[in-house]
Amino acid sequence: MPASLEIPRRSEVISRHKERGGRVAAVFPIHYPRALFRAFNVLPVEVWGPPKIEARQGEKHLQSYTCSIVRNGLSFVISGGLNVADFIVVPHACDSLQGFGSILIDFIKPEKPVIPIYIPRGTRESDIEFFTEELKSVFTRLAEAGAGSPSDPELIQAIEREEEADKLLQEIFQKRTHLPFSDIEFYRLVRAREYLPGEEFIELARDAVDRAGDNPQSGIPIILSGIVPEPMEILNAIVRRGGVVVADDFACLGRRLYPAGKSEEPRRRMAESIILGPPDSTRGSPIGDRVRHLRKLVEESGARGVVFYNIKFCEPELFHLPILRKGLKDAGIPSVVVEADIGEELSRQVETSLETFMEVIK
Ligand code: SF4
C-alpha cells in the first residue's frame, strides 16, 4: 500500500500564501473563475458552510427554511471566521445565495469588499457574452481594490495553469476506481481543489494519478449526486453497506469538471469554460440535459443506481429531482433521495434509506 497523499491543510495554505504577500478571497458556492483571481495574486478559498460551526448567529437574519450552507456561511462571517480574507465573493448560484449577498452588502457590511458574480442561466452565445462582461466587471473590482492589473498574457498564463489542473481533476475522476484510496480519502483529495493553488493541486493530482493500479475496487457501484458531500460520513455509510462510489455529480465536483475555453480573449475564455461545463441545476440547465448526463455517467461507470444526497431546503435541486428521477427510472436506473444538513450527524433515516436502497440494487 503506497503512503497516503500529503494534503496540506487549508489554514496552512492560506498562511503560506499571505506570507508571500498574496491576498485571499473567501468564495461562496458555486461557479467562479479561479484563474482571474490568481492572476491578481488572490488565492480563492471556497467556503461550503463550513459544516462544524455554531450557526445561531446567522439564523436571526434568515428565514427558517434557508439551507445550511447559507446559514452556516453567514454565521461564519459574523463570528469573524473570514477575518483572514481580503475579499468575499458571492456567486449567485441560487436565491438563497443572492439573499446572502444582499444581507452582507446591506446589513452586515464587512470591512472588506464583497464581490457578487451573476451567472447566466443558459449556454447560448448571449450567455457567454453576458458572463464575459460580468468577468470584466469582477476584474475592475479587483483592480480598484488595489490588487494590481494583470495584463492579458498574465491572465492567459493563469488560465492555462487552471486548465491543466482541471484536466488532471478529470483524469483522477476517470481513474477513481483504480486509485488506492478509500472514498473519504478520494474526496479529500479532489476537494483540495477548493483551496489549493492550481500549481500545487497539479503536483498532488499527478502523484495520485501515478498510483492508479490495474484492478478496480470492488463493491456495489453507485453514483452520488447533490451539492456537496457533507456530512462526509455518507461515504463511510456507503462503504459499510458494500457500496463503492464510481462517478460523481456533485455541484462542487463533477459539475465543475470544466472544459477548457477556446477564445484567445482571456475573459471570454474563462466564461466559455464555466458556461459550457456539465449541466447543473444552479446554472439553470434543462432537466433533460441532466437526465442525459446522468444516464451517460451510469453507462460509462457501470453504476447500478444513483444516490441523491440533498441538502435540506436546497431549492434548485428539489425542483429538478422529480423529473430527473423519472428520467432515470424510464431508463431502468434506480435512485434514492436522502437529505442532510451539513452541520448535523447523519440521521438514522438516511442510514435506513441507504441500507434499503443498497439491498435493492445489489
Ligand atoms: S445548497 Fe442549494 S440552496 Fe443552499 S446555497 Fe447551495 S444551491 Fe443554494
The CATH number linked to 132 is: 3.40.50.11890
The residue that leads in pLDDT, 17 or 216, is 17
pLDDT of residue 55 exceeding 90: no
- Range name among 4-8, 27-31, 108-112, 245-249 with the lowest pLDDT average: 4-8
Ligand 1 closest atom vs CA 67: 4
pLDDT of residue 50: 85
Predicted confidence band at 1 (pLDDT cuts at 50, 70, 90)? very low
Closest alpha carbon to 169 in 227, 252, 263: 252
pLDDT of residue 52: 79
pLDDT digits (tens, 9 = 90+) for 67-98: 999 999 999 999 999 999 999 999 999 999 99
| CB 58 less than 6 A from any atom of ligand 1 | no
Q: Whose CA is nearest to atom 2 of ligand 1?
A: 314
The rounded distance, in Å, linking the Cα atoms of 276 and 123 is 6
The residue segments making up the domain with residue 73 are 10-151
| CB 47 less than 6 A from any atom of ligand 1 | no
What does DSSP say about strands 305-311 and 23-27: parallel, antiparallel, or unpaired?
unpaired
Separation of CA 28 and ligand 1 centre (Å): 10
Ligand 1 closest atom vs CA 317: 2
Residue 179 falls inside a structural domain: no
pLDDT of residue 240 exceeding 90: yes
Q: Are 48 and 69 in contact (CB under 8 A)?
A: yes
3-state secondary structure the chain: CCCCCCCCCHHHHHHHHHHCCCEEEEECCCCCCHHHHHHCCEEEEECCCCCCCCCHHHHCCCCCCCCHHHHHHHHHHHCCCCCCCCEEEEECCCHHHHHHHHHHHHHHCCCCCEEEECCCCCCCHHHHHHHHHHHHHHHHHHHHCCCCCCCHHHHHHHHHHHHHHHHHHHHHHHCHHHCCCCHHHHHHHHHHHHCCCHHHHHHHHHHHHHCCCCCCCCCEEEEEEECCCCCCHHHHHHHHCCEEEEEEEECCCHHHCCCCCCCCCHHHHHHHHHHCCCCCHHHCCCHHHHHHHHHHHHHHHCCCEEEEEEECCCHHHHHHHHHHHHHHHHCCCCEEEEEECCCCCCCHHHHHHHHHHHHHHC
Residue 77 falls inside a structural domain: yes
pLDDT digits (tens, 9 = 90+) for 209-228: 999 998 888 899 999 999 99
pLDDT of residue 119 exceeding 90: yes
pLDDT of residue 167 exceeding 70: yes
Predicted confidence band at 152 (pLDDT cuts at 50, 70, 90)? very high
Closest alpha carbon to 308 in 255, 355, 248: 248
Residue 328 falls inside a structural domain: no
pLDDT of residue 147 exceeding 90: no
| CB 29 less than 6 A from any atom of ligand 1 | yes
Residue 346 falls inside a structural domain: no
Q: Give the CA count within 13 Å in the CB-facing half-sphere of 195.
A: 23
pLDDT of residue 3: 63
| CB 252 less than 6 A from any atom of ligand 1 | no
Q: Whose CA is nearest to atom 1 of ligand 1?
A: 314
What does DSSP say about strands 220-226 and 42-46: parallel, antiparallel, or unpaired?
unpaired
Predicted confidence band at 269 (pLDDT cuts at 50, 70, 90)? very high
Residue 81 falls inside a structural domain: yes
Query: Mean pLDDT for the chain?
Result: 95
pLDDT of residue 290 exceeding 50: yes
| CB 97 less than 6 A from any atom of ligand 1 | yes
| CB 311 less than 6 A from any atom of ligand 1 | yes
- How many domains is the chain partitioned into structurally? 1
Contacts of 274 (CB under 8 A, 6+ apart): 31, 32, 33, 119, 131, 258
Residue 228 falls inside a structural domain: no
pLDDT of residue 2: 54
Residue 190 falls inside a structural domain: no
pLDDT of residue 131 exceeding 80: yes
Residue 67 falls inside a structural domain: yes
